[in-house]
Structure 1
Amino acid sequence: MGRMAYTILVADDEPAIRTMLEVILSADGHDIVAVSDGKSALDYLREHTPDAMLLDVRMPHMDGFEICSRVKRIKRLRDTPVLLLTGFDDDQTRDHAKLVGADDIVYKPLSGKNLRGRVNQLIEARRR
């Protein structure tokens, strides 16, 4: 019996990173919805409830912190795992991520295997 296919929202303003995330995550058979900014992410979330979200911390219009804090205030989305994607491995970023309720932080450059494991683990933990 294989893994279930999940829907994962990916928001990153860099096309190369979006593509890389799509390739990494779709390797497990997941459906990836990729958007280029925070506004598009929120537009998608108005109508849909993904199984997980991967949000870049730095994006135009609205950053990953802001999207995460909004998502965690919406009952329907509150339990959806949010992973923040950042190039900054520092206390300030970690503290801010905790403050907005992020479930995990993923640091660039990405390790595909590590990322897939963490995403699947977070989703499956919520499913139990």
Structure 2
Amino acid sequence: MEGMPYTILVADDEPAIRTMLEVILSADGHQIVTMNDGRSTLEYLRDNTPDAMLLDVKMPHMDGFEICSRVKRIKRLKDTPVLLLTAFDDDHTRDHARMVGADDVVYKPLSGKNLRGRVTQLIEARRR
């Protein structure tokens, strides 16, 4: 993918998933910031504005739905694309994601090429 490198926040409590997402997304030259729980994610977001966020739905201290809901109420962050990561491909999960303002839902297991394209597309759509 062409374009400038972006800063992408990845929050997932599974080290293997964090590493895989870092490898996939850094292939395009993006800077990846990883967090392993909801609390550290919110602490990071207090002083930083990433270009996109990938938040696992199930994490300790605070889940991805709650983080997304809070992010979308912060003026500086409300336009930042949020993708929720989940293993649950069902109507309840999709509805809840929409309700909290998520821009997309990504299902595990992940497709690297598909994910890279979706993240870049969401970021660039916001920058137009």
TM-score bin (small chain): over 0.9
1:53-87 deviations in Å (ceiling 9; x for gaps): 00000000000000000000000000000000000
Q: How many angstroms does 1:40 deviate by?
A: 0.6
Q: Distance in 2 between matches of 1:40 and 1:127?
A: 27
Match of 2:97 in 1: 97
TM value normalised by structure 1: 0.99
Aligned-partner SS, 2:44:
helix
List structure 1 segments (4+ residues) > 4 angstroms apart after TM superposition: none
Q: Which residue of 2 aligns with 1:73?
A: 73
* Count of aligned pairs: 128
Equivalent residue for 1:116? Answer: 116
For the residues of structure 2 that align with 1:21 and 1:6, how far apart are their CA atoms? 14
Q: Which residue of 2 aligns with 1:87?
A: 87
1:56 partner amino acid: D
Matched residue, 2:12: 12
**Matched residue of 1:54: which SS?**
strand
Identity rate of aligned residues, in percent? 84
Equivalent residue letter for 2:7: T
Look up the SS of the partner of 1:93 in the other structure: helix
SS at match of 2:93: helix
Output the CA distance in 2 between the equivalents of 1:3 and 1:24: 16
Partner of 1:47: 47
Q: Following TM superposition, by how much is the alpha carbon of 1:3 offset from its aligned partner in structure 2, in angstroms?
A: 1.4
Q: Deviations over 1:86-113 (max 9, x none)?
A: 0000000000000000000000000000
2:72, 2:108 → 1: CA distance? Answer: 24
Distance in 1, matches of 2:22 and 2:38, equals 17
Corresponding residue for residue 59 of structure 1? 59
**2:28 equivalent to 1:24:** no
